């Protein structure tokens, strides 16, 4: 509907609502009409004033104005709208027929357009029964006839044209395609963009090295790539082809003994720092005795979310966990801001956004935590993608970071808070 018509109908509705409100108020009517019935002649005089003031398009004739008020009381806003809008009298394929065509196309085997046309024409001729799957109601072919009572038969080309309109193509893709295909074809703002700065986006993936070992098996490798530069920023290998990534991570003592326990306490909502100290974790000591609005506050919501994912496993659903809150009082705001779980063709795609990250200290732990979260979902892991808003190395840890990269695994970093 054109904007000028929307404005016109809005003004007309406001005037009629005012008239109806006055008519409903018996005290005002008694004073205005002095106990007599409504004088529509005087009423239209008032309406003439409002026409000059607000430019409404209601009739000024007392008889016609009274008809408009009566119609507005019975039909509401619909009485104000011209019949030329949403009039389907000249349209062969009405909204009802279009929805029937889309319903036939929604069959799980994804029928061809010609098959949909064949089923539709069989239905309107009474040769096919169609049932509403939600209500169990039988569709009546008599509702799909022209003014002469003949069935509205459509050609293959007509049905194909309606199925392939942009709106309907998006609806069909939502139903038939994978979530990845639907998002990338019909949700332009969902498309991901490459990072701008190095280490702003890290992608992890596994692969088999091309050359086999002497026993014929291939080395299992897992790489962490910096998407912007293309550099490999992390790697892990195993001689066993069936080796699990978790086994590779857990070959490191800190991950096996401390980080796994840390995530478990987070998910339990444990806020007492002493409990972390009991399992050998002392890097929360600077927070005092209690973690205020920190990781446990938000990660305690993770177990029910994981249970829901395992229960539903919906391809069309984005399962999201938000961490942190603006202006919330905290002695350590979570650096991890968002974790999103998606299912693509029966595989788990995990994406996360981290507002701030120590590349040499916190980042490896966060990657491991994300992997542990993924392992609690009963689906094979396809990928983990981590978006980083700010990645840094503190000056007092630069030399020690160089030592770590040179192969010294006994390096100890200073914690900056």
Whether this prediction's pTM lies above 0.75 is answered by no
| Residue 244 Cα distances to 150, 272, 341, angstroms | 66, 33, 21
Q: What is the largest CA-CA distance in the chain?
A: 109
Query: Are residues 366 and 231 part of one domain?
Result: yes
Q: Is the pLDDT of residue 188 over 70?
A: no
Least confident of 44-53, 85-94, 132-141, 347-356: 85-94
Tell me, yes or no, whether 255 and 161 share the same domain. no
> pLDDT confidence of 77, banded at 50, 70, 90?
confident
Both 152 and 214 in one domain: the answer is: no
Specify whether 149 is located in the same domain as 228.
no
Residues 110 and 257 in one domain: no
Contacts of 297 by beta carbon, 8 Å cutoff, 6+ apart: 269, 271, 291
Regarding whether 153 and 295 lie in a shared domain, the answer is no
pLDDT class of 90 with cuts at 50, 70, 90: very low
Q: What pLDDT is recorded for position 267?
A: 92
Q: DSSP secondary structure string, 126-160?
A: TSS--B-TTT-PBPPGGGGB-TTS-B----HHHHH
Averaged pLDDT for residues 95-121: 88
Residue 102 within a domain: yes
Per cent of the chain over pLDDT 90 is 12
Kindly indicate the confidence band of residue 241, based on its pLDDT and cuts at 50, 70 and 90: very low
**Nearest to 363, CA basis, from 340, 393, 338:** 393
- If asked whether residues 69 and 169 sit together in one domain, one would say no
Residues in the chain: 417
Find out whether 64 and 43 touch, Cβ atoms under 8 Å. no
Are β-strands 218-226 and 201-212 bridged in parallel, bridged antiparallel, or unpaired?
Answer: antiparallel
Answer whether residue 75 is part of any domain: yes
Residues in CB range of 169: below 8 A, 6 or more apart: 163, 186
Regarding whether 147 and 219 lie in a shared domain, the answer is: no
Residues 267 and 325 in one domain: yes
Q: How far apart are CA 184 and CA 180, in angstroms?
A: 6
Token code pair at residue 284: 């929360």
Buried b (16+ CB within 10 A) or exposed e, 202-237: bebeeeeeeeeeeeeeebbbbebbbbeeeeeeeebe
Question: Would you say residue 193 lies in a domain?
Answer: no
Residue-number span of the structural domain to which 144 is assigned = 95-176
Q: Which two tokens stand for residue 29?
A: 């009517």
pLDDT of residue 302: 93
Which tokens in the block code for residue 10?
Answer: 């809005």
Question: What is the pLDDT confidence band of residue 39, given thresholds at 50, 70 and 90?
Answer: low
The residue with greater pLDDT, 335 or 38, is 335
Q: Answer whether residue 243 shows pLDDT above 80.
A: no
Q: Are strands 381-388 and 201-212 parallel, antiparallel or unpaired?
A: antiparallel
As for how many domains the chain has, the answer is 3
274 and 343, same domain (yes or no) = yes
pLDDT at 412 over 90: no
Position 88 pLDDT exceeds 80 = no
Mean pLDDT across the chain, nearest whole number?
81
DSSP code per residue over 366-386: HHHHHHHHHHTSSS-EEEEEE
State both tokens at 136. 């169990």
| pLDDT one-digit tens code per residue, 147-166 | 888 888 898 889 999 999 98
Model pLDDT, residue 306: 93
**233 plus 347 within the same structural domain:** yes
Q: For the chain, give me the number of helices (H) and strands (E)? A: 17, 9
């Amino acid at each position: 509907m054109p904007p000028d018509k929307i404005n016109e109908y809005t003004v007309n509705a406001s005037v009629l609502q005012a008239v109806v409100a006055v008519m409903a108020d018996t005290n005002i009517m008694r004073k205005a009409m002095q106990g007599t019935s409504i004088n529509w002649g005087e009423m239209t005089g008032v309406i003439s004033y409002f026409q000059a003031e607000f430019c409404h398009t209601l009739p000024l004739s007392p008889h016609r104005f009274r008809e408009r008020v009566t119609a507005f009381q019975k039909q509401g806003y619909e009485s104000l709208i011209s019949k030329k809008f949403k009039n389907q009298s000249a349209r062969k394929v009405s909204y009802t027929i279009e929805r029937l065509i889309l319903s036939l196309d929604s069959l799980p085997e994804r029928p061809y357009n010609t098959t949909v046309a064949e089923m539709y024409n069989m239905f309107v001729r009474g040769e096919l029964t169609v049932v509403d799957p939600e209500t169990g109601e039988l569709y009546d072919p008599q509702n799909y006839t022209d003014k002469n009572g003949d069935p509205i038969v459509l050609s293959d080309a007509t049905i194909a044209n309606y199925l392939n309109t942009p709106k309907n193509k998006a609806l069909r893709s939502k139903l038939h395609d994978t979530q990845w295909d639907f998002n990338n074809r019909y949700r332009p703002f969902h498309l991901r963009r490459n990072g701008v700065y190095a280490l702003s986006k890290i992608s992890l993936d596994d692969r088999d090295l091309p050359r086999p070992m002497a026993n014929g098996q291939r080395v299992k490798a897992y790489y962490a790539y910096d998407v912007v530069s293309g550099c490999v920023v992390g790697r892990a290998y195993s001689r066993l082809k069936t080796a699990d990534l978790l086994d590779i991570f857990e070959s490191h003592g800190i991950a096996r003994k401390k980080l796994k326990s840390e995530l478990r306490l987070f998910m339990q909502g444990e806020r007492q720092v002493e409990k972390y100290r009991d399992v050998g974790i002392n890097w929360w000591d600077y927070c005092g005795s209690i973690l205020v609005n920190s990781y446990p506050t938000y990660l305690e919501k993770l177990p029910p979310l994981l249970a829901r994912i395992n229960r539903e496993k919906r391809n069309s659903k984005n399962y999201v966990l938000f961490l942190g809150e603006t202006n919330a009082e905290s002695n350590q705001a979570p650096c991890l801001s968002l974790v999103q779980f998606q299912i693509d063709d029966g595989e788990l795609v995990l994406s996360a956004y981290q507002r701030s990250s120590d590349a040499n200290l916190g980042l490896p732990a966060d990657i491991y935590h994300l992997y542990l979260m993924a392992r609690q979902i009963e689906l094979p892991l396809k990928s983990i993608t981590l978006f980083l808003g700010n990645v840094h190395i503190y000056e007092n840890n630069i030399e020690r970071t160089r030592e770590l990269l040179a192969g010294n695994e006994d390096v100890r970093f200073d914690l900056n808070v």
